[in-house]
């Protein structure tokens, strides 16, 4: 219940309740208010200086972890860079010879295989 509703309830019921009943109701409201206050007090820090020191300590730890993470990230970044370079080199050393082979090997193989082809043709002509 909100404060206005409680006040209205207390003022409306003043005529119908005795003084002791009204005091009991008021005592209950005060006890409830005291419980809320204790609960709020439990969740508030007891000493702000210690809280600030802990906060600064944790902030420093986080900064140290961030620096360490950044150092590892730089190493990973360098590793990725070199992996890209080696990939390009692998492509260069694998694809370029294949392309050159496709271009230059057929004429070379033709000149090497031509005497054997002539020999096979002569054998076939003898058979016929």
What is the per-residue pLDDT for 88?
Answer: 94
Residue 28: name the closest of 4, 1, 47 by CA.
1
Quote the tokens at residue 102. Answer: 């496709």
Residue percentage of the chain with pLDDT more than 70: 84
Quote the tokens at residue 21. Answer: 């009943």
Residue 124: name the closest of 17, 55, 54, 116 by CA.
116
**Within 10 Å of residue 25's Cβ, how many Cβ atoms?**
15
Phi-psi region of 17 (alpha: psi -120 to 50; beta: other; left: phi over 0): beta
Residue ranges, the chain, pLDDT below 70? 1-15, 43-46, 48, 128
Residues 24 and 30 sit within 8 Å (Cβ to Cβ): no
Look up tokens 């419980």; give the residue: 35
DSSP type of residue 15: T
Domain extents in the chain: 1-44
Q: How far apart are CA 106 and CA 101, in angstroms?
A: 8
State the pTM of this model: 0.43
What is the per-residue pLDDT for 37?
Answer: 83
């Amino acid at each position: 219940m909100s404060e206005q509703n409680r006040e209205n309830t207390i003022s409306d019921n003043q005529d119908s309740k005795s003084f002791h009943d009204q005091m009991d109701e008021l005592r209950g409201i005060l006890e409830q208010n005291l419980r809320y206050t204790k609960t709020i007090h439990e969740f508030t820090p007891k000493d702000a200086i210690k809280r600030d020191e802990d906060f600064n300590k944790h902030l420093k730890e986080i900064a140290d972890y961030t620096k360490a993470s950044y150092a590892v990230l730089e190493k990973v970044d360098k590793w990725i860079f070199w992996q890209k370079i080696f990939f390009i080199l692998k492509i260069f050393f694998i694809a370029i010879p294949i392309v050159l082979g496709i271009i230059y090997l057929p004429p070379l193989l033709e000149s090497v295989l031509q005497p054997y082809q002539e020999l096979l043709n002569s054998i076939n002509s003898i058979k016929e």
